[in-house]
Structure 1
Amino acid sequence: MLVQSPHTAALGVGSRPDAEQPISGRSYYVRLLDGFCLEEDGHPLAAPKAVRRLMAFVGVRGRTSRSEISGNLWPDVSETKAQACLRTTLWRLRQTAQEPIVVGDETLSLASVVTVDLSAFVTSAQRALEHVSRGPDSAQRQTVEHSMVDVGELLPGWYDDWVLFERERLRQLQLHALEAIALRLTAEGCHAQAVEAALAAVRLEPLRESAVRVLIIAHRAEHNIVEAVRCYRQFHDQLHRELGVTPTAELTRLTFGVTGL
């Protein structure tokens, strides 16, 4: 038995102090953003489809009950059949890679030898939302900011219900993080970086008023009133064209209240 990874608290994975440490010295990397990949000691593994789906599910959800895993991965069969499919997949996983999954009595989780790219994204987003100050280590802060701007899609080409749910959850996390970064950079007078972060949020969701709002705030803070008005009018026209509605009065006041344009 292997020890479970502390993967990240955000993904709901705890430790298993009663489990044994892995003994082979292997390390594993699971990529979930911009496509799935499972690597052992830096070398890609040709894993069967069921194994890839299992590793992806546990990589996203962390420690999870067997019943939840089987129900999500094999939703169209009976519970008994789904549990049998899970056992078969675990056997196939052991033929592919020996140590990435901790098998408990009722749960499965990632081992301590597994790194998941999604963990770094979640950690960066949490730091952005917790308003981590720039401090002396601006390099770390810039890393967080850039990691939010350039994020790949979660498991592109996968359309399982659980993937669609997690993809939207992570998209919302990214949007909120970008908005928080833009507002903080604006307050610090870093106008170019603030506009970049706000534009990234608008590109991700053009009809999201809160994203447009932080972009307008960034433009106004730099005294670029024309840019702010242009941004508002583009949003107004697109919103009316696609949804038949107009921006809120709050956004209108933010844009025009002081200038009277």
Structure 2
Amino acid sequence: MQIRCLGDFSVEIDGRPVLHWRAGKARSLFQYLLVNRGRLVSAHRLREVLWPERDVSPQSSSLKVAMHAVRKMLAPHDEITIEHDNGYYRLTTRDVRIDFEDLARCASAARQAGDAAVPHHRRVVELYSGEFLAGEHADWVVEHREWCKALVLHSLRQISADALRENDYLHAIEASKRILEIDPCAEGAYQTLMIMHARLGELGRVHSWYQLCARRLRAELDVEPTRLTRRILAGSMRGDLRATAA
């Protein structure tokens, strides 16, 4: 079984995708239990998550219907099981590939690798194929989405920093642009891009990145670029940051 939650959600069993989830909330229920796998989750909490807009009575059959649909989908396979005991549920997995867990494992390996962390950081970036459960807007989804983003942004910053140490301008630029695809208000990425293009003598690009940074910060956060960003712009225009000057 292989499960993808980064980008478009999909579940494949024996190479065949699961296309129909029978009950309306079955898919969301499975997703929530998956994120909380190995932990006990109360029926009360599941009702809160699945029906946040209304107070679902414990006597309602809605949760039972959704749970039955999930169990029916999983029934022929023992890689995933859902236990139920005294009003609590727990999903457990065995030999299941889950993309956001692969992401977390690679990020953990990078933290432990010390000076040899860059290959692990690159693997984190490769695994991040899109936002966690893209298109979903529940609070618990947003929380997990931001956690996944934090992992990949950290790896991209480490890759960029390593490229800067090696004077590898193109890889530093590539990593910084990828950061902005994920977080358009990451001012540090704009600063790196401005410095790299200044070293290459591409002053028009420096100015373009500064203008884009200023527009996005005003529109999204209602703030101006920091003093450091403005100093990088001024130094670039004077030629202080050209590679020969540096």
1:235 aligns with 2:213: yes
Instruction: Work out which of the residue numbers 111, 117, 123 in structure 1 matches 2:93.
Output: 111
Instruction: Give the deviation of 1:213 after TM superposition.
Output: 2.6
Instruction: Give the deviation of 1:249 after TM superposition.
Output: 0.6
> Which consecutive segments of 4 or more residues in structure 1 shift more than 6 A?
none
DSSP 3-state at the match of 1:181: helix
| Pairwise CA RMSD | 3.3
Aligned position for 1:51: 26
Aligned position for 2:138: 160
Aligned position for 2:4: 31
Could you tell me which amino acid in structure 1 is paired with residue 103 of structure 2?
Answer: F
Instruction: Give the deviation of 1:235 after TM superposition.
Output: 1.8
Q: Where in structure 2 are the equivalents of 1:1-261 lying within 5 Å?
A: 28-45=1-18, 46-48=20-22, 49-64=24-39, 65-66=41-42, 67-75=44-52, 76-78=54-56, 80-81=58-59, 84-98=61-75, 99=78, 100-103=80-83, 105=85, 106-127=88-109, 133-134=115-116, 142-148=122-128, 151-219=129-197, 222-224=199-201, 226=203, 227-240=205-218, 245-257=223-235, 260=238
Q: Distance in 1 between matches of 2:114 and 2:163?
A: 12
Q: Distance in 2 between matches of 1:116 and 1:34?
A: 13
Could you tell me which amino acid in structure 1 is paired with residue 25 of structure 2?
Answer: A
Preserved contact between residue 4 and residue 100 of structure 2 (Cα < 8 Å) = yes
Q: Distance in 1 between matches of 2:218 and 2:137?
A: 31
Q: Distance in 2 between matches of 1:253 and 1:244?
A: 20
Deviations 1:79-117 (A, max 9, x none): 5147x5434333222222123234153341231132212
Q: Distance in 2 between matches of 1:210 and 1:62?
A: 35
Instruction: Give the deviation of 1:244 after TM superposition.
Output: 5.4
Q: Distance in 1 between matches of 2:112 and 2:207?
A: 30
Instruction: Give the deviation of 1:197 after TM superposition.
Output: 1.0
Change (3 A) 1:69 1:189: farther
Instruction: Give the deviation of 1:242 after TM superposition.
Output: 6.4
Q: Distance in 2 between matches of 1:241 and 1:102?
A: 45
Preserved contact between residue 7 and residue 130 of structure 2 (Cα < 8 Å) = yes
DSSP 3-state at the match of 1:199: helix
DSSP 3-state at the match of 1:80: coil
Segments of 5+ residues of structure 1 without an aligned counterpart are 1-27
DSSP 3-state at the match of 2:209: helix
Preserved contact between residue 102 and residue 111 of structure 1 (Cα < 8 Å) = no
Segments of 5+ residues of structure 2 without an aligned counterpart are 240-246
Q: Distance in 2 between matches of 1:171 and 1:141?
A: 13
Could you tell me which amino acid in structure 2 is paired with residue 30 of structure 1?
Answer: I
Deviations 1:194-246 (A, max 9, x none): 211101112333333133233334445x5446244442233234545666542
Preserved contact between residue 34 and residue 154 of structure 1 (Cα < 8 Å) = yes
Q: Distance in 2 between matches of 1:50 and 1:40?
A: 20
